Structure 1
Amino acid sequence: MNIALVGYGKMGKTIERIALDRGHSIAARIDVNNQSDLENIKADAAIEFSHPDAAFNNVKRCIELGIPVVCGTTGWLERKPEIESLTKEKNGAFFYASNYSLGVNIFFKINEHLASMLKSFKQYEVALDEIHHTEKKDAPSGTAITLAEGILKHLDHKKNWVNKDTSNMQEIPIKSFRIDQVPGTHVVKYTSAIDDIEIKHTAHTREGFALGAVMVAEWIKDKKGVLNMDDFLKF
């Protein structure tokens, strides 16, 4: 299939290599230097890993062109409902995930299961740490937000997450660290006076994210609607 790469940084280049290895061709490589080329691209699917400031317009244009779009850019989700409405209006296909790694999506399910098990044990306080490379622009990471939202589904005494330390018992603190050459580490910690429970996911390379995005692009080609990893993986 013919894939458009919208965003051509380190992730875009890793996606390109994997797509070519899997027998696909690259219809376009869009970055900040040739943004206008997005106006008239033709592709079977677009994979969008760009910048929070550019993601909305990138995804919007792909949907307007009738190109199924797979988006992994985080930090712009306050406008995601607009994209979902446009997708339905245009009978298009829009797929968003905060993380395309199979391992991370298994981690999401483990996280929710653990939260559901601990909902009656309020002596445990929960907190999250996330570590990424210094080039990541948004904080907390989309993956950390997804983890926090998964916990909030099950812990009624927690009302929201915050990107800082907090003494408010209704908040889940997320601490963000930016360290050179770290693809991504996420830790969920439950602590009590008696013991601690901790689950952790560590990515060693970008390969898992990129492979997942390409596999979703292969899958979405003939799909319609607003889709996510639960649709793809059918957990």
Structure 2
Amino acid sequence: MKISVIGTGKTGGKVVELLGDNLSEAFDESNPPTVESLRQADAVIIFVPGDAVGDIIETVLDSGVPAAWGSTGYSWPRDLDKQLKDRGGKWVLASNFSLGMNIIRKNIETISAGSSILKEPGFRIHEVHHVHKKDAPSGTALSWEEWLNKDAEITSEREGDVKGIHELKVTTETEEITLRHKALDRALFAEGAIWAAEQLITNKNINPGLTEFGDLFDSVMEDRKNE
């Protein structure tokens, strides 16, 4: 299979490196994608800043190539799922392509349910990223609050070349619960994005439209349980 990459920054560059001979083409500002060039690949992985998504979204849509998006800080069109279904396109969106983050998601859902028996719990999410990350709070921190399904105080910090640290604290007068995820190498995001792209190419259970990365993960895990 051949996979193209749009965005060759810190994470996109790691995707290019890991793809090796499976790379179709790498696109950036000096080599922007076209419909024709994207169609040379079986799928495309996209890591561009949120403010650059608008420049390429129509090109990716028109190409019809399955796409795994790792861009955050962009307000996706409300009718995007319908647009994709009308065109037979398949996209996966992720605020964080870490496969391990989906294990965290399951734990957060458990904490959310269990916190109902705690006395006046408070919830705080803190995230730390490198100084070049533009959006704050991170898309992952917002996802954590969504998974928690509780109002949480979210704080952000930008420091050095931190790959990503997310921490949830649940506090009462008598105890504190802490859940923490730390990215040690950007390869984990690249590996997850490549896994998603491979699923888009080979997994016949993915229907046209918009799929959240977590939903894809759950679906594949459920299929494995039933094997």
TM-score (norm 1): 0.85
Structure-1 residue corresponding to 2:34: 38
Alignment partner of 1:189 out of 169, 174, 182: 169
Between the two proteins, what is the percent identity of the paired residues?
Answer: 31
Structure-1 residue corresponding to 2:113: 116
Contact 1:48 1:59 in 2 (8 A): no
Determine if the alignment matches structure 1 residue 18 to structure 2 residue 4: no
Determine if the alignment matches structure 1 residue 95 to structure 2 residue 79: no
- C-alpha distance in 2 between matches for 1:17 and 1:176: 30
Contact 1:48 1:70 in 2 (8 A): yes
Alignment partner of 2:129 out of 124, 129, 132: 132
- C-alpha distance in 1 between matches for 2:72 and 2:116: 29
* Structure 2 residue identity aligned to 1:40: E
Structure-1 residue corresponding to 2:212: 228
Alignment of 1:69-84 (within 5 A): 69-76=67-74, 78-84=75-81
Ranges in structure 1 where 5+ consecutive residues have no aligned partner: 159-171
- Number of residue pairs matched by the alignment: 213
**Runs of 4+ off more than 3 Å:** none
For residues 122 and 30 of structure 1, do their structure 2 counterparts lie closer, same or farther at Cα, with a shift above 3 Å needed? farther
- C-alpha distance in 1 between matches for 2:86 and 2:80: 10
Determine if the alignment matches structure 1 residue 3 to structure 2 residue 37: no
Contact 2:46 2:68 in 1 (8 A): yes
Determine if the alignment matches structure 1 residue 198 to structure 2 residue 182: no
Pairwise CA RMSD of aligned residues?
1.6
Alignment partner of 1:54 out of 47, 52, 55: 52
TM-score (norm 2): 0.88
